[in-house]
Structures are given as structure tokens and as C-alpha cells.
Amino acid sequence: MTHPSDNRADVPSEGDSNRSSYRQAWQFRHIDRQTQAWLDRDARAYLRQSLSTPCLNLLDSCQGTTLTDRQGREILDFHGNSVHQVGYGHPRVIAAIKAQLDRLPFCPRRYTNIPAIALAEKLAEITPMPLGKVLLVPGGTSAVGMALKLARTATGRFKTISMWDSFHGASLDAISVGGEALFRSGIGPLLPGCVHVPPADPYRCVWNANGDCAACDLKCAATSNT
């Protein structure tokens, strides 16, 4: 099965599915046969995900800021998916997870429990804007989907406005408000009323105005598409 990124073999892409000759050259130099065999098994076993596979390398462990691959090399993780701010495998986090798994690994929502109540109260307390209620969801995509539903319910309206090239997740509702062509193309009708506008960014101006917003007459502010 072909994939949109397959057509861009020599164009370095934003995501991890970079299939440029640079990546192939790196893999040829640095990936040994055993690792390659695991990468091949991964590619056979998993459906390919936009921007995530085929995988670059095989990890063995991680600790703090460091990823260690199966060939023993250490990699400093500057990204951490924006959710590992305390580092990989922080001992206090591991201890808390283990203790909770031993005591109450799951709580059906017809019931509650003291750690869950304490967590919601703490989140409300430390969130900068006044936050009355907490809703825990499995991930960012679900958070976006639920926020869309809540906003529709609260306002009685359905239109959204978001940026070209923005990423809000990969589900149908999230790609509707998202602005990345890779996710939106060739997938049929998306949610109606999703308006997209260009980023107002003088530094990387879409119209190459080079920061001269007056001469450009703020085209970004006058432009939108669905």
C-alpha cells in the first residue's frame, strides 16, 4: 500500500516518516543487521502511521533525558513528546504507579476513589485560568473532540477557526479542525464549518513579506478557507 510520504522520497518532511536520502544514508551507516531485522518485523506487524513509521531505530530503555538504543548508543531526547517533563522513569512516578496498580488498578466510573478526587482538585488548583471541572481523557485527540462537543453544547454554534498547518490529532474531528494537508487529503467529507486561517507570523510569512506587514496590508488577516 502506498503512503503519501512515499511520493516525497527526497523531500525532507516535518515528521518522523522522513524518507529522504539523508535518512537512508544515516540508517545505512548506523543501523546494524539485528536492529534492521527488528525494524522490518515492526513494519510487517504494524499498520503504518502517518508521520510515525517506518521507525528510525530500536530502543532498549530510557531514563531521565536519555534514550538508549539496542546498539547501546545514548540519545539525548530534546522533545519528549511534551509530556515527559519529569524525565523518563522518574522514581517517584514509577513508585506511585506501582503502588496504585497494586491497590486499585481500575475504578469503574460508577464509583470514585480518593486519589482520583485529589488529582482533579489539584489540577483545578494549579491551572492558571479558573477551572471549575476536570474531565480526564485518554489523549490529546480525545480532548480536542470532547472540547468541540462541549463548545457546541455550551454555545449552540458549530463553526471553528484554526490555523493552516496546525495539528490537533488524527481522528476525523481533529483533522477537520487541523490544517495539515497530509491528514486531510483523500479521506472524504470532514466536519462542516471548520474555517482555517494562515498563521500571522512575520518571521516565516506565508507571502514572504519579510516582516513588512504594512506593505503587505496584513493579507493573513483577510484570508481564510474551509
Binding site for ligand PLP (CB under 6 A): 139-141, 144, 167-169
Which of 168, 177, 109 shows the shortest CA–CA distance to 139? 168
In the complex with ligand PLP, the residue whose CB is nearer, 28 or 78, is 78
DSSP state at residue 6: G
In the complex with ligand PLP, the residue whose CB is nearer, 25 or 161, is 161
The CA R_g of the chain, rounded to the nearest whole Å, is: 22
Beta strands in the chain (DSSP E): 59-63, 66-69, 74-76, 160-163, 194-197
Whose CB is nearest to ligand PLP? 140
In the complex with ligand PLP, the residue whose CB is nearer, 19 or 168, is 168
Question: Minimum distance between the CB of residue 169 and ligand PLP, rounded to whole angstroms?
Answer: 4
Q: Is 74 helix (H, G, I), strand (E, B) or coil?
A: strand
Question: Minimum distance between the CB of residue 99 and ligand PLP, rounded to whole angstroms?
Answer: 25
Q: What sign does the dihedral 165-168-174-177 (CA atoms) show?
A: negative
Question: Minimum distance between the CB of residue 140 and ligand PLP, rounded to whole angstroms?
Answer: 2
In the complex with ligand PLP, the residue whose CB is nearer, 56 or 163, is 163
